[in-house]
Every structure is written in structure tokens, then in C-alpha cells.
Amino acid sequence: MARNPRLFPANFRSLSLIFFLSLLSVNQYSVSGHDYADALRKSILFFEGQRSGKLPPDQRVRWRRDSALHDGATAGVDLSGGYYDAGDNIKFGFPMAFTATLLSWSVIDFGKSMGAEHRNAVKAVKWATDYLLKATAVPEVVYVQVGDPYSDHNCWERPEDMDTLRTAYKIDRAHPGSDVAGETAAALAAASIVFRSRDPAYSRLLLDRAVKVFEFADKYRGAYSTPLRSAVCPFYCDVSGYQDELLWGAAWLHKASRRREYREYIVKNEVILRAGDTINEFGWDNKHAGINVLVSKEVLMGKDDELKSFQLNADNFICSILPGISHPQVQYSPGGLIFKAGGSNMQHVTSLSFLLLAYSNYLSHSNHVVPCGGRSASPALLKQLAKRQVDYILGDNPMRMSYMVGYGERYPERIHHRGSSLPSVQAHPAHIGCKEGSLYYLSPNPNPNVLVGAVVGGPNSSDSFPDSRPFFQESEPTTYINAPLVGLLAYFSAHL
């Protein structure tokens, strides 16, 4: 469906401008105002449903129970805890670290708009970082995954019943993974900012670990999908290379520590590690746009002109998302949703919208606009575009449904999620074996456990949504869809 901009007619500019304005106008699908505070609360609650390990007494998602308590035992280490990435029961370290980085960024930039939800957001960060600390406890080793994905995907089992292979996969000096180690360093550094005043000792622990993990990532270079190909591909295979995670890790370490060496690393490696590459992407694999927006804050606040090229890259990135302002490199569905091929589209929607909003704030604080060709994009415009995407998720769309489970009157009921679709341990205490779960997977009934706050992969490029478990690209939630959404919802709940 991706349309090539070169095929547009000569009056493309004015045509697309109309399209652009229609995207921004109080759109035709708009219901009434949204309850962003309610959506914020739910978007954070979702993370409790994804918890692995021993659940604490204040666990609010009560249909979940302890699970995978012996993770790591086969390797002689404790790797219990952390998050299941999506609708399966694997702990994939690469997207988990990215989730922690983006949750932290949400709290750092928008925590003051979270009200009573602030503490829940911080707990959601800590559930990830407590695990990442365990995964990086041995110097120059990072445990990057627990669970054999083929064994897991072959079954439809509750996490509480799991009897699949819980293999622990690691990287080390001889089998490096600068991508996952760089992202893990970024996550630990970003989280150290979240805990700086709240828990200084924990914050220092996170930052010290981030420094060590980054050193390992930089010194022993390689992509983790080389040594661990059969375990991580095609699930979270690193396609974009590890260079972006090295810059990203350094950028977060610079922000967290203010040490000159990280700034020098960024300046020295900007070209070598290709900061300007594929700038219209941002997700667990590709950090380029995020690096440029993050580093631009320094430039826009007037602190560091030597990093100016990052701002130029960030401007180009913003122009590439704005339809009608330049040749749009990012496509939109007819109903106005950012759309990228490849499945789980909402991850792109929330992460790109997050960058729009974060950058718009950096611009407003420094009285800047983004020059895009002959036009310019104001911070207010970027915010409107981000808000339009959030409103689409919450129900202003052709299906007139919310893509967040438990929010609004209509939402996905058959999400591709093992725990949500199988009866809870309380309702059905007996073990449900690997293949016994198929009955529930194939059932036309709604899931018995409502995973409140889960945002699914979302509609296809024609704005249609099947609400069916086998359509996992549309119906599966992931932690990295929600992590940036937490920041977006916080902002819009406080600034209407």
C-alpha cells in the first residue's frame, strides 16, 4: 500500500495540504472529548498485566499470579521478574530495555503532568530496571532473553502454567551485542534520572551500571543477532545495526551524568555511527530519530552549538512526518493514522507521536519553529498532529472504536494475548497444558480477562480491524506501544 510520493500529480503540494488540514481539523470521526486521565491510568495499569516473576501485594491486576519464578536457574543466576513483551511469555531483553527507556523518557518529560499516576509510572519503570540490574549483574555479560521462542510460540499457555523451555541467552566478550547492550545502558541511564531525587541510592546504582554496560557495548562490538540468531530472529532481530544504540546509549549517559566523555563520544562518532540515517523511524530496532530529538534539546536550550547537526537531522525527521509540508516519507491511512507496513503498526504511531510532542516542547521553550521546505511547522502544529494520533487510538477513527482495551464503549475483545484469553488461575485452578489452550485461542468469545490499558497493533492500512486472535499483527499488544503513549496521555490530560 505504500504510495510513492513521486507518483503524485503536479499539484501534489496543494492536494496534500488539503489532506493535511483535514488530518488536523476537528476530524469527522470525533466523538466528544476524551478522558485522557482515564486513558493514562489504564495505559500504566497495562504493565502490571505483563509482569513476570513474584507479584507484590499491591498488584492491581488481580487475575494474574506469580510466574516464571525460576527463570535463570538453568544458568545458575536469578533472572525472575521483568516483563513479557507482548501476548506471549518470552522475556525479550532488547524490546524490554527500549520499553524502559521510553517509559523513563515519558516520566522525565511529562511526569509533572501525571498527577496521582506518577507513582504508578515510576513503579512501571522499576519493574523493568530491577530486572535489567539482574541481567547485567555479571561484568561484561548481559542476559538478553529468557525463554525459547519456538517452544513458547508452539503453545497457548498461561504464564502461570508455563512448562516450556526457559533457556537463558546471554552476550559476552566473545559473543557481543552492542545493540542490546547499548539499549540496556540507555534504559539504566534514563531510569537513573527518574530516580535521582526519589531514591538517590538506586539512581546511583542504575547510573554506575549503565556506565559499565555501555563500556562493554562499545568495547566489544557486534550485533546480538549474529551469535544468537536462532533465538532472537525473526522476533527481535537487529536489522538496523548496532551503531544507533551506541549513540543512543551515549546520549542518555550524557543526559544522566553530564560527563564530558559522553558528549565527546557523541560529537566524535556522529558521522562514524551515522546519526542521520533512516531518520523517519523510531522503535525498538531503530533509534536514529530518537537520538536526534534527544540531543537537540541541548542545542535548542542554547547550550551546545557543536551538536547543531543533530537539530538539523531532527528537523528533517519532523518534516518527513508532516503531510503536505514536504514529500511525506511517512504514510497515513485514509482515516488519518500514521501507517507503516510490517505489523504492530501502533508502535510507530505512539513512538513517532511521542517524538513530535517532545520536540514540540523543546521548540516552544526556545521559541523555534521547524523549517520544512518553503513552509514552517510551529510547535502547536506538532502537538496537534500528535494529539490527532492519540485521538485516533482512543476512538476518533472510521471503526469508531478505541484501540485501548477497557477504554471507551467499544474496544478490542479478542486480543492475541495468552493470559488474557485463557481463564484465570482463580477461575480455573487446574493446569492448562500447551495444546489445551488452542480451544481458547480459536474461540469466537471475548477474552475472559480484560487486559485494561493494552493498546493493540491496530487497524490495517484501510482502517479496518478484525478483532481476532489469529490476526496477531492487528490484535497483539506490546509494552513498547504503551511506553511512549504514557507520556503522550500525561501531557494531553493536563493540557487540553
Ligand X SMILES: *[C@@H]1O[C@H](CO)[C@@H](O)[C@H](O)[C@H]1NC(C)=O
- Using left for φ > 0, alpha for ψ between -120 and 50, and beta otherwise, residue 247 falls in alpha
SS3 state at 295: helix
Number of chain positions touching ligand X (CB under 6 A): 6
Q: Are 54 and 127 in contact (CB under 8 A)?
A: no
Residues 423-462, one symbol each (x = binds ligand X by CB under 6 A, - = not), give -------------------------------------xxx
Q: Is 409 a catalytic residue?
A: no
Do 478 and 344 meet the contact criterion of CB atoms below 8 Å apart? yes
Give min distance, CB of 415 to ligand X, in A: 17
How near is the Cβ of 69 to ligand X at its closest, in Å? 41
Task: Report 379-408 residues binding ligand X (CB under 6 A).
Answer: none
Known active-site residue 88: yes
433, 446, 464, 495: residue in contact with ligand X (rule CB under 6 A): 464
CA dist., res. 255 & res. 187, Å (int): 12
Decide: is 343 part of the binding site for ligand X (CB under 6 A): no
- Contacts (CB under 6 A) with ligand X, residues 257-296: none
- Report yes or no: 151 and 215 within 8 Å, Cβ to Cβ: no
Q: Kindly report the backbone phi and psi dihedral angles of residue 172, in degrees, each rounded to the nearest multiple of 5, phi listed first.
A: -155, -170
For the question of residue 416 being annotated catalytic, the response is: yes
| 3-class secondary structure, 91 | strand
Which of 384, 473 has the CB closer to ligand X? Answer: 473
Shortest distance, position 474 Cβ to ligand X, whole Å = 9
> Which x/- pattern, by CB under 6 A, does the window 1-40 give for ligand X?
x---------------------------------------
CB closer to ligand X, 362 vs 403: 403
CA atoms of 458 and 394, how far apart (whole Å)? 11
If phi over 0 gives left and psi between -120 and 50 gives alpha, with beta otherwise, what is residue 98?
Answer: alpha
Nearer to ligand X, 281 or 474 (CB): 474
- Cis peptide before 234, with omega less than 30 degrees from 0? yes
CB of 467 to ligand X, least distance (A): 10
Q: State the Cα angle at 165 between 163 and 167, rounded to 5°.
A: 140
Sort 442 into a burial class: Cβ within 10 Å, 0-12 / 13-18 / 19+.
exposed
Nearer to ligand X, 410 or 435 (CB): 410
Please, what is the minimum distance in Å from the beta carbon of residue 460 to ligand X?
4
**Cβ nearer to ligand X, comparing 89 with 460:** 460
Which listed residue (254, 348, 368, 416) is catalytic? 416
Q: Footprint of ligand X on this chain (CB under 6 A)?
A: 1, 460-462, 464, 466
Which residues carry out catalysis? Answer: 88, 416, 467, 476
